[in-house]
Structure 1
Amino acid sequence: MAAVAGTPDLRRAAVRALQALAVAACYFAAGRLGLLRHLAVEEAVVSPIWPPTGFAVACFLILGPGSWPGIALGAFLVTATVGPLGPDAIGTTAGSTLAPLCAYLMLRRVGFRTDLSRLRDGLALVFLAALTAMLLSATVGVTSLVLVGKLAVHSVGYVWLAWWVGDAMGVLIVTPILLMLYTVRGPPGLSRWKEALALTLVAGGLVPLATRSSVSLLFLVYPLLIWAALRFRLAGSMPCALLACVLATVAATDHNGPFERLTPVEVMIKLQAFNGSMALTALLLSAVIAEQRNIRLSVEQACQELAEVLEHLTAGDAPPGRAPTDDDEGRGRSGAR
């Protein structure tokens, strides 16, 4: 009996271990992707968009808080590839794990829905998960670097801001896309595929032009986001925002296009202002449209049910789901006379 009882426990432990390894591998891959374009200040490395943070928040929302070992392991592995390991690696790993976990707890506290079908869900993701919870990771990470002497005091403000914004951008861009992929139910119809193809072609031509032109044309991306949000909601607006943010980051780190002849501080400010406005526009506009659509569908369903009830009452029958009463029979006899 002991062996039989122990087998399920071993199986569950093996499943949890495999899940932790899979989460750590995905986190590490997202980290390596984020390090392709980064900003170095002394010995601190920060990324304008840090995808692992967005992945971690989505992972907690989908798999639950029990996925924290995989997040911690992935964060430690990413830190180990950036430079020589030291005591600061523990602080960085702790901040990278605790901040997404705090985001998850705050989102659950306010009744967050992973389908992002309400405006309150979009606002919660922006102000709680991205802007508030990521203060923890930036503060813990920068403090760890200062304590071990890897970061000068005069660079703390700049590195802290870049760290915080990079983590917040990861939540604003990556988390909605992963949640959308998790909740998707099926492909759109043929007519929508044609429009989706047209949107893809326009985005493929317009976004590189706006991010590479020496003339400041970044504003051209906004009509594209509005079109995508109105017609496809999150499924259209967030990929467009991701494309715009990635290409803008590439142009900024190369000092090309609208980021040419700018100082590093000016590049960071302009880039993060553009990326943040793209993410906020795509996320909040899509949430508003989804909420209005759900309200319209609810009103249409209520009107349909009311019409069916009135139809039965007019015909002298009892409404569906209710047994006929003496009043119903009396109305029926009166109608017969």
Structure 2
Amino acid sequence: MLRNAEPLLRDPGRLGIAVLRVLAVAAAYFVSGRLGLLQQIVVAGAKVTPLWPPTGIALTCLLLLGLGIWPGIALGAFLVIASIGPLHPASLGIVAGNTLAPVAACLMLRRVGFRVGLDRLRDGLALVFLGALGGMLISATVGSGVLWLSGSVPGHEFLATWSAWWTGDAMGVLVVTPLLLALRAFRLPEEREPFDWVEPVLLLAGTVAITLIATASSLGLLFLVFPLLIWAALRFQLIGAAPCVLVVSVLTIAAAVDHEGPFSHHSVFSTMVILQALNGSAALTGLLLSAVIAEQQSMYQRIEQACLGLAEVVARLAPGEDDGRWPPSGDGGSGP
């Protein structure tokens, strides 16, 4: 760590850029944390959110900018906790857990050769099981543990607090990280037809409309969002599926917090189970199906490039055969 810091100390310009990156990460963490706290549920006296965007932002920054920006995550987590209420010793434990979790997730993803393009099924599975479900065990365990040790959470409510914490952090990775990675790689096509934007706009608007209808009804119509998510993944891959997943998650969380529609007659625990089952299924559908389609398209492109390369080799080895006649003219063959 000290050896890596020596070049920065010798170069004030690089040091200034590094500090600005850390502050930018802290600001992004804090702003997204405040937005996440707008939709929160109190479980056993602890405030938890069904979707915690800072975990997705933290993991994305670590993957793109490197492990050196971890102080920005710690600073952002500290500022979020300080904005909620008075600080106490357990706050430092929560900051440590919220910092260590995305760092551990990033290290595990690097270990298995994760590619930020999410163009392989193995990358999607790695993000789900290592980045989200595995890495966020740390923040949930540390956070719930320090609250229990400090007496803020009673022992019989530890499991409920832990599960809500874990699913909220995991959903932050599953929903936010793919969206940010897709936006990073998105490029507008050079040639655009006037109606190229019609389908994606209709798709996003349809997702909003269907989700609002499903969350306003008590008939259990939440499954209606899945055809739209599949459509988005098949047609536009991650850049199409990720925004739709975000829309579904945000709108269903709002309905769950207000106990509306399919969440109106359920306890807090039952509401969390239904909500996270829906959001988790939606995120997995969009992420994994997009990864499969992207991997297939990449394979088709490689096959096409191989065929073109083979055709060029054949053309160089046997010039003149591409005119459709055999033997080629000038090779001594007899005419008709």
TM-score above 0.5: yes
Q: How far, CA to CA, are the matches of 1:138 and 1:66 in structure 2?
A: 23
Cα distance in 2 for partners of 1:286, 1:333 equals: 51
What's the offset of the Cα at 1:214?
Answer: 1.7
Q: Structure 2 residue aligned with 1:162, among 146, 161, 164?
A: 164
Whether the 8 Å CA contact 1:45–1:82 is kept in 2: the answer is: no
Deviation at 1:55, TM superposition (A): 0.4
Per-residue CA deviation, residues 133-170 of structure 1 (Å, 9 max, x unaligned), is 11011000011111111110011000000000000000
The within-5 A match list for 1:34-183 is 34-183=36-185
Letter in 1 for 2:236: F
Listed one character per residue, the Cα deviations across residues 107-147 of structure 1 (whole Å, up to 9, x for unaligned) are: 11111111100000000000001011110110000111111
Structure 2 Cα separation of the partners of residues 261 and 112 of structure 1? 42
Aligned amino acid, residue 127 of structure 1 = F
Deviation at 1:229, TM superposition (A): 0.5
Distance across 1 between alignment mates of 2:8 and 2:88:
40
Aligned ranges 1:147-226 → 2 under 5 Å: 147-187=149-189, 189-190=192-193, 191-226=195-230
Letter in 2 for 1:94: A
Residue type of the partner of 1:289? I
Counterpart of 1:291 (choices 295, 298, 320) is: 295
SS of 1:243's equivalent in the other structure is helix
- The residue matched to 2:197 in structure 1 has which SS? helix
Query: Given the alignment of the two structures, is residue 262 of structure 1 paired with residue 266 of structure 2, yes or no?
Result: yes
Matched, 1:315 2:319: yes
Counterpart residue type for residue 260 of structure 2? N
* TM-score between both structures, scaled by the size of structure 2: 0.90
Q: Deviations over 1:224-267 (max 9, x none)?
A: 00110011000111110110011000000110011111111110
Alignment deviations for residues 6-28 of structure 1 (CA, whole Å, 9 cap, x no partner) = 99633332222222111111100
Query: How many angstroms apart in 1 are the aligned matches of 2:233 and 2:93?
Result: 39
Q: Which runs of 4+ in 1 moved over 6 A?
A: 331-334
* TM superposition score normalised by structure 1: 0.90
Alpha-carbon separation, structure 2, partners of 1:43 and 1:75: 20
Q: Is the 8 A contact 1:117 1:290 kept in 2?
A: yes
Q: Is the 8 A contact 1:103 1:128 kept in 2?
A: yes
5+ residue gaps in structure 1? 318-330
- The structure 1 residue matched to 2:278, chosen from 267, 271, 274, is 274
Mean Cα deviation higher: 177-186 or 135-144: 177-186
1:95-116 Cα distance to aligned partner (Å, 9 max, x none): 0000000011011111111110
**What letter corresponds to residue 54 of structure 2 in structure 1?**
P
Instruction: Quote the offset at 1:81 in angstroms.
Output: 1.8
Deviation, 1:65, is 0.3
State the distance in 1 between where 2:73 and 2:205 align: 36
Tell me the residue number matched to 1:321.
none
Secondary structure of the residue that 2:134 maps to in structure 1?
Answer: coil
Would you say the 8 A contact 1:24–1:70 is kept in 2? yes
**3-state SS of paired residue (1:240):** helix
Which digits, 9 at most, give the CA deviation of each residue in 1:163-214, with x for residues without a partner?
Answer: 0000000000000111111222325833431211221232232121112212
2:41–2:49 CA contact under 8 A, matched in 1: yes
Cα gap change, 1:6 to 1:243, in 2 (>3 Å): closer
Please say if residues 44 and 161 of structure 2, whose CA atoms lie closer than 8 Å, have aligned partners that are also in contact.
no
Could you tell me how far apart the structure 1 residues matched to 2:116 and 2:68 are? 18
Aligned residues of 1:34 and 1:47 also touching (Cα < 8 A): yes
182-191 vs 85-94, greater mean Cα deviation: 182-191
CA distance in 1, matches of 2:329, 2:203: 62
Q: Which amino acid aligns with 1:217?
A: L
2-side partners of 1:122 and 1:204: how far apart? 25
Q: Which residue of 2 aligns with 1:336?
A: 332
- Partner amino acid, structure 2, of 1:47: T
CA RMSD in angstroms, aligned pairs only: 2.0
CA contact (8 A) 1:226 1:282 kept: yes
Q: What's the secondary structure of 1:45's corresponding residue?
A: strand
- In structure 2, list runs of 5 or more residues that go unmatched: 1-6, 322-326
| Cα distance change on mapping 1:83 and 1:42 into 2, 3 Å | farther
Equivalent residue letter for 2:150:
V
Judging changes above 3 Å, is the alpha-carbon distance between structure 1 residues 304 and 8 closer, same or farther for their aligned structure 2 residues?
Answer: same
